[in-house]
Chains A and B, each alone.
Chain A
């Protein structure tokens, strides 16, 4: 039998706010002494209460808006109750029934390079946990990361292959970076992916009655490998007549296989209920009107296509990185005076320069292309070579120049021009002649 995969994603993004989600301790925990950035609130001491970080709410809304979500007018925080030593309060302040935004979508490419619309179920705000370090039968706990703002993005189970998942995650990463709300670095844990995977017989419309959660995978590459492995494994298990159950699995990069982390038979009951310590959030039009979104890659792509008449593939490549897009537009502006078309410039930037924007300034690039276009010899070493030859071939002229007859310079220039197949840059010829005649 053939099986179709059903895949949904849960993505956690750690925001780069200065302070934590519910207290004003510094959120910059990386490399800090353990438990040096805590207070009664993020340490969960008796008597403490949370206080919302406004910036985090705005950042979470930005992500929701960028993913075309509907903003919830009356939003609430809730408590997700469970016991784990990295969770100081015994509950995580999160959102469940009233998330900040819902019902969005993001268009990506699937493994056939077709456009696929992934529905976004929700984008909600929550807080991070502390960090555990296991030493023998003891566990050490550092709460510096406790309560750092996290945004959770949950998709509908709209993926059917691993490439789509990767494309979605990359696209999301670009959006988050464009928004400037997180570094979205996978290895550092700023961005964490969890995939829910199951398979169903081809043609079946009902969702499977189980799902396997892939967790703690910190690169796009490993995620693709793990999903592919799971799709194959699950199909084989079902084919062999086995029943699959809810469980959490991780990825073993050495063995190139997934492994069981936790079976969900004793699934936790999180007992979500509205967080009584926090007033509700009323996000109205006025508040939303103050939130400014930068131009996102997808919007920019569309604009580049219409404004510069370039094809979609080129427009996407030039749009995905903010700095590259900026460079391209600068080059287009400078180039217009030199009759260099946006299309020509796009092609050069992508094919010749391989999107490298650090070695040559926009001005430098335009000067170079201008020379090429007019068949001008602009290359310093080429010109120098010809100048040297002309000097060597005309010792008499050199003598007269040294004797003070500077008008002989015109003869030198004429000789260089004749010798060159292209039209050399006259200014450069002059400068080089003067310099080399001094040394001759």
Chain B
């Protein structure tokens, strides 16, 4: 299976990844090779097999509704590249919700 440059661009947009035009060929080749390799999975007979999403055997793990301390506002904002009056700043809204 071959991922075209256009498909790479679609995936990159979905993943919110800035990809340079000059990188497209390389990613197209490398990802195509990996996807071709992965494709072998479809030859495994999985009829009647349940998927495994989480290997831990635990279930119903939850906590009572008791408040625990939060970070302070300063701690929350400490690593922010841009902030103002206790808010984080982001450069306008990107993409689509």
Q: Which residues of A contact B59 (CB under 8 A)?
A: 279-282
A250 an interface residue at 8 Å Cβ cutoff?
no
Which residues B63-78 have CB closer than 8 A to chain A? 63-68, 70-73, 76-77
Q: Are B73 and A34 in contact (CB under 8 A)?
A: yes
> Which listed residue, A34, A55, A76, touches B85 by the CB 8 Å rule?
A34
Query: With A35-B87, A82-B95, A262-B96 given, is the CB distance from A52 to B61 under 8 Å?
Result: yes
Per the bound structure, the CA–CA distance linking A273 and B54 in Å amounts to: 12
**How far, in Å, is A234 (CB) from chain B's closest CB?**
23
**How far, in Å, is A209 (CB) from chain B's closest CB?**
21
Which residue of A has the minimal Cβ distance to B84?
A140
A361 an interface residue at 8 Å Cβ cutoff?
no
B97 an interface residue at 8 Å Cβ cutoff?
yes
Query: With A269-B14, A279-B54, A279-B59 given, is the CB distance from A36 to B72 under 8 Å?
Result: yes
Q: Are B94 and A85 in contact (CB under 8 A)?
A: yes
**How far, in Å, is A359 (CB) from chain B's closest CB?**
37
Q: Are B76 and A55 in contact (CB under 8 A)?
A: no
Query: With A84-B93, A84-B97, A279-B56 given, is the CB distance from A55 to B64 under 8 Å?
Result: yes
Per the bound structure, the CA–CA distance linking A143 and B64 in Å amounts to: 22
Q: Are A18 and B65 in contact (CB under 8 A)?
A: yes
Query: With A35-B87, A279-B56, A279-B60 given, is the CB distance from A40 to B96 under 8 Å?
Result: no
Q: Are B68 and A24 in contact (CB under 8 A)?
A: yes
Per the bound structure, the CA–CA distance linking A38 and B66 in Å amounts to: 15
Per the bound structure, the CA–CA distance linking A34 and B73 in Å amounts to: 7
A105 an interface residue at 8 Å Cβ cutoff?
no
Which residue of B has the minimal Cβ distance to A35?
B76
**How far, in Å, is B32 (CB) from chain A's closest CB?**
20
Stretch at the interface among A131-139, A163-171, A328-336, A373-381: A131-139
A356 an interface residue at 8 Å Cβ cutoff?
no
> Which listed residue, A25, A34, A76, A85, touches B90 by the CB 8 Å rule?
A85
Which residue of B has the minimal Cβ distance to A42?
B70
Per the bound structure, the CA–CA distance linking A172 and B68 in Å amounts to: 32
Per the bound structure, the CA–CA distance linking A82 and B13 in Å amounts to: 11
Q: Which residues of A contact B56 (CB under 8 A)?
A: 279
Per the bound structure, the CA–CA distance linking A269 and B7 in Å amounts to: 14
Q: Which residues of A contact B94 (CB under 8 A)?
A: 83, 85
Per the bound structure, the CA–CA distance linking A280 and B76 in Å amounts to: 30
**How far, in Å, is B17 (CB) from chain A's closest CB?**
10
A258 an interface residue at 8 Å Cβ cutoff?
no
Q: Are A139 and B54 in contact (CB under 8 A)?
A: no
A37 an interface residue at 8 Å Cβ cutoff?
yes
> What are 16 A-B interface contacts by the 8 Å CB criterion?
A18-B65, A34-B87, A35-B77, A36-B73, A36-B76, A52-B62, A82-B95, A83-B16, A142-B86, A143-B88, A266-B96, A269-B14, A273-B53, A274-B54, A278-B54, A282-B60
Chain A contact residues, CB within 8 Å of chain B: 17-19, 24-26, 33-40, 43, 51-57, 76, 82-85, 87, 90, 132-134, 137-143, 262, 266, 268-269, 271, 273-274, 276, 278-282, 287
Chain B contact residues, CB within 8 Å of chain A: 14, 16, 53-54, 56, 58-68, 70-73, 76-77, 84-97
CB-CB nearest 3 A-B residue pairs: A140-B87, A55-B65, A54-B62
